[in-house]
């Protein structure tokens, strides 16, 4: 369920339905593409063994 929720968050932006112009502007300001959540989580969230 958590993985499905994160896929939903990754697929749907909080900026609204027609946000491509705002995303392009944000990418221009940032100078690079943002890190995908899955990449960030792999590097920053420790995994505990069962």
Q: What is the pTM assigned to this prediction?
A: 0.37
Judge whether 31 lies within some domain.
yes
Q: What residue numbers bound the domain in which 21 lies?
A: 2-44
Judge whether 39 lies within some domain.
yes
Q: How many domains does the chain have?
A: 1
Q: How would you classify residue 46: left for phi > 0, otherwise alpha for psi between -120 and 50, otherwise beta? A: beta
- In terms of Cβ atoms closer than 10 Å to its own Cβ (0-12, 13-18, 19+), residue 8 is exposed
Judge whether 23 lies within some domain.
yes
Judge whether 50 lies within some domain.
no
pLDDT in single tens digits along all 50 residues of the chain: 888 887 787 777 666 566 788 888 888 898 887 789 999 999 999 988 87
- In terms of Cβ atoms closer than 10 Å to its own Cβ (0-12, 13-18, 19+), residue 9 is exposed
Instruction: Kindly give, in sequence order, each residue whose CB lies less than 8 Å from that of residue 5, ignoring residues fewer than 6 positions away.
Output: none
Task: Write phi, then psi, for 7 (nearest 5 degrees).
Answer: -65, -40
Judge whether 49 lies within some domain.
no
């Amino acid at each position: 369920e958590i993985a499905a929720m994160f896929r939903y968050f990754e697929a749907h932006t909080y900026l609204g339905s027609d946000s491509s112009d705002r995303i392009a502007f944000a990418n221009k300001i940032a100078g690079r593409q943002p890190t995908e959540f899955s990449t960030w989580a792999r590097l920053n969230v420790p995994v505990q063994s069962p």
